[in-house]
Amino acid sequence: MSLTGHLLIGAADVPATEGTMKALNPATNTLIEPEFAFGGRAQVDQAATLADAAFDSYSHTSLAERAAFLESIADNLNAAREELAARAALETGLPQAQLEGEAARAATQFRQFAEVVRKGRFLQLAIDPAQPDRQPRPRMDHRLQKVAIGPVAIFGASNFPISYSVAGGDTASALAAGATVILKAHNAHPGASEIQARAIRKAVQMHGLHEGVFSMVRGGGNAIGEALVDHPLIKAVTFTGSEVGGMALYRRAQLRPDPIPVFTEMTSVNPTFILPEALEARGAEIGDGFVERMLVNVGQACLCPSILIAVEGEGLQALRSAMINRVSAAPARTMLTPGIHGSYVKGLEAMESVGANLVAVGAPADGQLEGRSALLEVDGQRLLSEPALAHEVFGPAALLVTVNDEEELLAVARSFKGQLSAAIHLEDRDLDLARRLLPILERRTGRIVVNAFAHPQEVTFATVHGGPFPATSDSRFTSVGMTSIERFLRPVAYQGFPDALLPEVLREGNPLGLPRSIDGQ
Ligand code: NAP
C-alpha cells in the first residue's frame, strides 16, 4: 500500500488544512517520506458529525454482524502485517520481528472481542419480572441492558505503535461495545497509523456499515486533541501517555457544559518487593529477571518494573551484582521520539540531584536518540523523605531501594501513589510478611503479581490494566482485557414494556439464547 498521508474521515481522504509533517526515523534521526496532513477543528467537527450519524445504526447492529466486522478488521490487519511492522520499525526504531508480534496481538484482540460480542455477556442483561400481586404495591416488569455510550475519541499511544495505537485495545473494545470511534493518531508513527486506519476502514466498507463508524485525524499540536475533547458529540475519551497530557485533557472534559468520562492511563513505576527468604534463596536470579523486564521496549512500556525494594541481608549482594552486570552489559538502544529521549536523560539527572547514586550504566550510546540503561540506588529513608525519587523515569532505568527491616519495607510500600502493578517475590517462610504487605498494595495497585513480573501482559477476562491515580484517572476500569469494554457502556432500564417493543436481547423466550439474570439469579 502506498501511503497518502491523508486524514481518513469516514470514506474521505482529506488533505492538509493546518500544515504537514514527516515521520522521523529515530534510529538515523532523519525524516522519512511522505508528508502527513494536519487537520484542525473543522476536521474534528466533520469526523464527529459522521460518527454521530453512524451511531444509531452501528450501535444497533446485531451481535453476529458486529462480531463479523471485528473479525474482518483482524483479517485486514493480518494481511497488512509485514508492511505494517516494516513501517512501524522505521518510525520507532523497535525491532521488526517484535512489531510483527504486536500486529498479531492487535489482530487477536479484535478476534477476542468478536467472541465477547457473540456471547453477549457484556450486555449484562437483567430481568426482574413484574409482581402484580406484591403488597403493599405491585412491581412493574424491569429489564436492563448495557448500551454503547456514544461516539468516542481515542488517543493513540506512542510506545506500542500497533497494539496501543490505531488498531489497539481501546479501538477494539470501543467498536465491540457499539461505539463509533474517532482516533487521534500519535505523530510518532503516522505511516503505521495510516496502514492500520485503512485496514479498519476497509472492514467498514466490506460490511456495508455507515462510513462514520471510524475516522482518523491528526494535528500539529494540542489544538486537535482539545477540539476532540470539547466536541459536544463526543461522549467519552481514552488516552495513554504522560500525566501532564492526560490530566490536561481530563480537566478539560470536566469543564465542558456536559462533562464526559476520560479514561487516562498515565504513569507507573511498578514496584517490586523482594521478601527476605526469597532474597536469600534467589537474589541473583530475581535481580537478573528484573533488569531483563526493565529493558523491554527500551524501558518504554507501562508495565516495565523500575523500582525494586529489598531488605538488607543475605542475598542482597548477589542481587545487586546481578543487576549491575546485566545493566552494564545492556547495549544502548534507540528510543521512540526526541521528546521521550530528552525526558529520559532529564529524568536520570533529576534522580541524581535528589540523592540517588548511579551505580551502573550500560554501553555508551552511538545514535543521538539512543537510551543508555542505568541502575541507581538509594536507601529506604532517602526514598521516604524525597517523593520525587518514586516518579516514573520512562526509559531503561531502575532504582534499587535497600531498606533496614520489614517495617521500613512496609513504610516504603505505603509511600507509593497509585500503580498499574506491583510484584512480590517470596518463599513460603515470607508469607506472614506478604500478608501484611498485601492490603497496602491492594489499596495502591490494579494488579499484584507473585514470583514473576507484570510484563508481558495477557489479554484475558481477569486482566486488570488500571489502578488508582496517577496510574489512571479512573481506578474502576481496566484499559486492557475483555472487561475494558465496560468503559464504553452505560445501563438502560426498560420498565413495563410490551414484548414487541423490547430490544430483542430482552424479549420473553430469550430468542438469542444469551445469558440473562432473572431476579438476580
Ligand atoms: P503525551 O505527550 O502525553 O502525548 C500523548 C498524546 O496526547 C499525543 O497524541 C499528544 O498530541 C496528545 N496530547 C498530550 N497533551 C495534550 C494536551 N494538553 N492537549 C491535547 N493533546 C495532548 O505522551 P507521549 O508523546 O506518548 O510521551 C511523552 C511521555 O508520556 C513519556 O516520556 C512518558 O513519560 C509518558 N508515557 C507513559 C506511558 C505509560 O504507559 N505509562 C506511555 C506512553 C508515554 P501531540 O503529540 O500532538 O502533542
456 pLDDT above the threshold of 80: no
Q: Confidence class of residue 6 from pLDDT cuts 50, 70 and 90?
A: very high
Decide: 340 in ligand 1 pocket, CB within 6 A: yes
398 pLDDT above the threshold of 90: yes
How confident is the prediction for the chain on average, in pLDDT? 97
State residue 495's pLDDT score: 97
Site of grid cell 501484611 = 436
**For the segment 206-220, what is each residue's pLDDT rounded down to a tens digit?**
999 999 999 999 999
136 pLDDT above the threshold of 90: yes
Q: Confidence class of residue 452 from pLDDT cuts 50, 70 and 90?
A: very high
Is 370 among the catalytic positions?
Answer: no
CB 7 within 8 A of CB 217: yes
Question: What ranges do the domains of the chain cover?
Answer: 7-124+148-266+472-492, 272-450
Instruction: List helix spans (H) across 354-477.
Output: 380-385, 406-415, 431-444
**For the segment 265-316, what is each residue's pLDDT rounded down to a tens digit?**
999 999 999 999 999 999 999 999 999 999 999 999 999 999 999 999 889 9
CATH of domain 272-450: 3.40.309.10
State residue 367's pLDDT score: 87
State residue 472's pLDDT score: 98
Under DSSP, the state recorded for 2 is -
18 pLDDT above the threshold of 80: yes
How far is Cα 54 from Cα 60, in angstroms, rounded to an integer? 10
State residue 444's pLDDT score: 98
State residue 457's pLDDT score: 83
Q: What is the mean pLDDT of residues 81-110?
A: 97
CB 32 within 8 A of CB 5: no
Q: Is 518 exposed, middle or buried (0-12, 13-18, 19+ CB in 10 A)?
A: exposed
Whether the link from the prior residue into 338 is cis, omega within 30° of 0, is: no
Q: What is the pTM for the complete model shown?
A: 0.97
**For the segment 73-84, what is each residue's pLDDT rounded down to a tens digit?**
999 999 999 999
155 pLDDT above the threshold of 90: yes
89 pLDDT above the threshold of 80: yes
State residue 455's pLDDT score: 80
Site of grid cell 530475581 = 286
Distance in Å, CA 311 to ligand 1 centroid? 36
Domain 7-124+148-266+472-492 belongs to what topology?
Answer: Aldehyde Dehydrogenase; Chain A, domain 1 (3.40.605)
Q: Characterize 24-60 residue by residue with b for buried, 16 or more Cβ atoms within 10 angstroms of its Cβ, and e for exposed.
A: bbbbeeeeeeebbbbbbbebbebbbbbbbbbbeebbe
Distance in Å, CA 269 to ligand 1 centroid? 17
Q: Confidence class of residue 88 from pLDDT cuts 50, 70 and 90?
A: very high
Under DSSP, the state recorded for 501 is G
Q: Which of 286, 247, 280, 287 is nearest to 263 (CA)?
A: 247
- What residue's CA is closest to ligand 1, atom 35? 242
Decide: 158 in ligand 1 pocket, CB within 6 A: yes
Under DSSP, the state recorded for 139 is B
Q: Confidence class of residue 247 from pLDDT cuts 50, 70 and 90?
A: very high
Is 265 among the catalytic positions?
Answer: yes
Distance in Å, CA 36 to ligand 1 centroid? 19
Site of grid cell 532504582 = 399
Of the residues 302, 304, 377, 392, only one is catalytic, namely: 302
State residue 145's pLDDT score: 98
How far is Cα 120 from Cα 123, in angstroms, rounded to an integer? 6
State residue 498's pLDDT score: 96
Of the residues 100, 102, 194, 265, only one is catalytic, namely: 265
How far is Cα 279 from Cα 318, in angstroms, rounded to an integer? 9
1 pLDDT above the threshold of 90: no
The type of residue at 136 is P
Decide: 394 in ligand 1 pocket, CB within 6 A: yes
518 pLDDT above the threshold of 80: yes
Q: Is 225 exposed, middle or buried (0-12, 13-18, 19+ CB in 10 A)?
A: buried
Would you state the cell numbers that stand for residue 52, as one nine-digit string? 454521530
10 pLDDT above the threshold of 80: yes
Distance in Å, CA 245 to ligand 1 centroid? 6
**For the segment 361-397, what is each residue's pLDDT rounded down to a tens digit?**
999 988 899 999 999 999 999 999 999 999 999 999 9
